[in-house]
A = this chain, B = another copy of it.
Amino acid sequence: MKARPDLSAWLPLPEGVVPSDASVLPGGFRAGGVAAGGKPSGDPDLGILVCDAQEMTSAARFTPSATAAAPVIITRDRCTNERLRAVVVNSGNANASTGRLGLEEAARMQGAASMLLGFPLEQIALCSTGKIGEILDGGTYVKAMPRVRDDFSTDATSFNTAICTTDLFLKKAAVDVTLPGGTVRFVAQAKGAGMIHPGFATMLVFIQTDAKLSAGQCDRLLMNSLVDTFNRVSVDGQMSTNDTALLQASGTSGVAPQDKDEDALLQAGLDHVLLDLALQLISDGEGATRLARVKVTGGDALGHAAEKVADHIATSPLVQTALTGADPNWGRIIQAAGHALAGRGQVEFDVSFGGVQVCRANQAARYDLAAAEAAAAEQLVEIEVTFKGDGDAVRYFCDLTVDYVRFNSEYTT
C-alpha cells in the first residue's frame, strides 16, 4: 500500500469529535525539518518540534526493550517527562546498540538543542530511528539544527517528513474535540513500517494538543490511549529498541476538562487519533497489501486468554500468508488459537470472516464459500473468534508478503 488506504470503517467518529487538518499544529507549537546529511539519499533526516507555551505539560512512554537505544535511555532517565518542551528526532540512524559512544552523541545533540532553543537540558526529548548498530555522528545533526529552527512554522509537514525512514507515506492524524468550555485540537505525527508489535509504546509518535492539562492528566490520557491503539497492532511481532510516544499539551486554548465526562471526551478524541495512526502504521507495514482486525471473545476476562489468542493469530506467519492469499483459512486460525491456549485441554472456537461463520466448535460450518472468500479479499478483513467466556481482545495486523521477505533480506536495519 503506497498510499493511506480508506480506514474509516475501523475509525468511527465519537460524538463531539470531528476530523481536523493534520498539517496544522495546535496553538503553542512550531516545528521544522531539514536534510542534515546523515542519510546517503540526502532525504530530510532531522526534525525538531517545540512547545512555546510556558505552562506546558507532557507525558512520554518508551519501549521496555532490554536493549533500548541511547536516545531512549537519555530521555527516559535524564529528562523531566512531565515537561518536555522540545523533541529532536533524527532518522536514518537509530543510535541503538551504540554503547557509551552512542549515549555521548545523544547527549551532545541534547546539549546543542538546549543551547539553540533556550530550554533546560532535561526538557529536550531525543528520538532516533533507522539503522541499528552504527555509531551516530551527532555533529552532523548539531550543525543542521539552526537550519531546522529557521524552518520552524505551524505547519507539521517538514517535521513529519524528516522523521520517516522506510515509510511510504506520511502518518498523521488530527481531530477537534468540542468540550462545553470550547474546542481543543489533537494533532499527531508518527513513523514506522517494520519492527512493530504490541509493546508499551510502539514506534515514534508525537501528539500535540492545545488543551490545558495537568501532567497527570497528560499521562493518563497517553497511557489509556496507547493500551487500546498502538498496543493492539502488529506487523511482524518485533519490539523495537527505539519506541517512543510523546504527548505535549500547550494549554493555549485555555480549555481544561472539568469533570469525568469531559475527560472521557478528550480520551475518545485522543484514542481516535492514535488508532488512526496505528492503523496507518500497519497499512505501511513492510510489503503489506491487506489489513485484518481480529476480535476475540472468550475466556476469563482476568486470565488474558482472549489476549493470548488474539496475539497468536495476529503474529502467525501462516495466518498472515493466508491473508496475503485472500484465503478465509479458518484452519490456521484454529491452529494459532490452539497454540495460544496450549496445555489447557481442548477448547472449542467459532470463527467468522466478515460476518460469515466458517467454523463452529472447531469444525467447518455450512457456509457460503463465495461470501467468505469475498470477505477475505477485502482491503480490511474482519475476523471474529469466540470461545467460552466473556473476556475480549482485539488486534489489527497486516499480511506477510514476498515483498516483506525481499525487503528484509536485502536491507540492513
Residues of A within 8 A of B (CB): 63-68, 73, 96-102, 131-135, 194-195, 197, 199, 236-241, 315-318, 321-322, 324-325, 327, 329-332, 334-347, 349, 359, 361-364, 399-402, 404-406, 408-410, 412-413
**Alpha-carbon gap, A412 to B372, bound state (A):** 14
Instruction: Give the residues in chain B near A406, CB-CB below 8 Å.
Output: 402
Which 5 pairs, one residue from A and one from B, show the smallest C-beta to C-beta distance? A67-B338, A132-B331, A99-B363, A321-B408, A325-B409
**Contacting pair B359 A97 (CB below 8 A):** yes
Tell me whether A337 and B66 are in contact (CB under 8 A): yes
Residues A195 and B400 in contact, CB atoms below 8 Å apart? no
A204 to B363, CA, bound (A): 23
How far, in whole Å, are A344 and B361 apart by their CA atoms in the complex? 40
25 contacts between A and B (CB under 8 A): A64-B343, A65-B342, A66-B337, A66-B338, A66-B343, A73-B346, A97-B331, A97-B362, A98-B363, A99-B363, A131-B331, A132-B334, A132-B335, A133-B334, A133-B359, A133-B363, A133-B364, A135-B364, A238-B318, A238-B339, A321-B404, A321-B408, A331-B413, A400-B405, A402-B406
- A332, B131: Cα distance in complex, Å: 10
User: Smallest CB–CB gap between A183 and chain B, Å?
Assistant: 39
How distant is the Cα of A106 from the Cα of B341 in the complex, in angstroms? 24
Number of copies: 2
Contacting residues, chain B, for A197 (C-beta < 8 A): 339
**In the complex, A314 Cα to B34 Cα: how many Å?**
39
Determine if B133 and A330 form an interchain contact, defined as CB atoms under 8 angstroms apart.
yes
Tell me, rounded to whole Å, the shortest Cβ–Cβ distance linking A337 to chain B. Answer: 6
Do A102 and B363 touch (CB < 8 A)? yes
Interface centre among A66, A131, A405 (most CB of B within 10 A): A66
B362 and A238 form a contact (CB under 8 A): no
Among candidates B68, B361, B364, residue contacting A134 with C-beta atoms closer than 8 Å = B364
- Complex CA gap A101/B346 in Å reads 16
Chain B residues closer than 8 Å to A241, beta-carbon distance: 334-335, 338
In the complex with contacts A96-B331, A364-B135, A338-B236 CB distance below 8 A: no
Among A73, A194, A239, residue most surrounded by chain B Cβ atoms (within 10 Å): A239
* B238 & A412 in contact (Cβ 8 Å cutoff): no
Please report the C-alpha to C-alpha distance between residue A183 and residue B290 in the assembled complex, in whole angstroms.
58
- A383 CB → nearest B CB, Å: 15
Are A329 and B194 interface neighbours, CB within 8 A? no
- Report A288 CB to chain B, min CB distance, Å: 12
